[in-house]
Amino acid sequence: MTPTRLSRSISLALIAAAPLSLASPKPALDLSPEARVARVLAGTPLIDGHNDLPYELRVRSGGDPIAAHLEIDQSTLPVNKDRAPLMTDMPRLHRGLVGGQFWSVWIPASITGAEAVQLTLDEIDIAKRLIAAYPKDLESAFTAADVRRIHRAGKIASMIGVEGGHQINGSLATLREYYALGARYMTLTHTSTIPWADAATDVPKNHGLSPFGLEVIHEMNRLGMLVDISHVSPDVMRQAIAASKAPVMFSHSSARALDDHPRNVPDDVLQLVAAHDGVVMVNFAPGYVSEDLFHWDADEQAEKTRYNSPPYAGLYIGQPERAAAALAEWHRKHPQPKATLAQVADHIEHIRAVAGVDHVGLGSDFDGIEDTPVGLTNVSCYPALLAELARRGWSDENLAKLAGENILRVMTRAEAVSASLKSESPVLQVLSDVEH
């Protein structure tokens, strides 16, 4: 038995024992939270909405998944002082009881035009070669039915999501080709506003979506590609939900009521997501989880600017040693807050309270974030999060919804909408010179 299969076998052994527990005088509710989670995830694939491993493979191993040795638990490798270990590998995916993964295809928002398209194609190729390199662990999935079939076979259903509308270069034909290559969602923007949609973390220019942006959403509906509204402005969130014939997703966003970060989802939008049967997949990025940390990050950046802001400003401009010493003293007086697994659970519970349990999922952002919450350090940790919720009173049925049933419902509905639009011809429109 290979190491990558060991944890899944242990989990199946736990599940096999569950009927004995149910047959005995001891009630099922007396099972440990961990055993309950293992039982739930045997029947429902745990699906993560967002993992940035393909880009990390690009920068660490030239895009070669074999050279990355993902058959090895990366946390056991010798320490590299210049680079933290990967958060994702095959042994820990299996220990985390992961049943499905959207692999993010991301390129920097600063790269646009034809170069953005080429780099996106390159990264789709990395994702596809990653899946092919580990056939005992991963298998490509294109539909909700594929995900369930692959999970039953004991493998991880692997899907692709394109993380930014700038990556289509204003071309619906390019969007269609991404879908043909396996992409099953596209995030409408990344960190920068684009000609047809406003980003959450940039100056708005469109008051939401432009007419071309609405065409993009319709074409995604026609294809069966999920509309992902993580990273977009609140106006785009609201307009995209209203425009889409299929339920939308947030692939990796948390609750703004708990952390007033622009990347998170306001309560009124959570209510709209519920009304239109979508799903919000909660992000683990510490600054989106802990409001204390979000504020600390802003304060730290202000201090850095105060001490050294080339070329003309800063108390210690041209004196890097004094600037470094001053910043070190500030750090001593202002220790960095830590986000925690319990706070991620708080975001999940808030979204459940506002939108309902049918509209929440998991979107870690592993290998796309520099740090992680305490207790959620890598892809082996999902069962610990679900066990925390089990201890808070979540039923097995609701844990299954969070883990994967909700996003599978959204995928199934998007497929049905696509089927209803199959008689429509592809729209040939490209972004006009005016909108560029």
Catalytic residue IDs: 50, 52, 163, 190, 231, 252, 365
Give the pair of three-digit tokens for residue 205: 């220019």
Q: How far apart are CA 383 and CA 362, in angstroms?
A: 12
CA distances (Å), 356 to each of 30, 119, 345, in order? 26, 38, 15
Which residue is it, tokens 């394109």? 162
Burial zone of 427 (CB within 10 Å; 0-12 exposed, 13-18 middle, 19+ buried): middle
Q: How far apart are CA 192 and CA 166, in angstroms?
A: 9
Q: Which of 406, 421, 37 is nearest to 244 (CA)?
A: 421
Give the pair of three-digit tokens for residue 375: 């207790």
Q: Evaluate whether 265 touches 297 at the Cβ level (below 8 Å).
A: no
Residue 51, SS3? strand
Helix (H) / strand (E) containing 49: strand 46-51
Helix (H) / strand (E) containing 150: helix 144-152
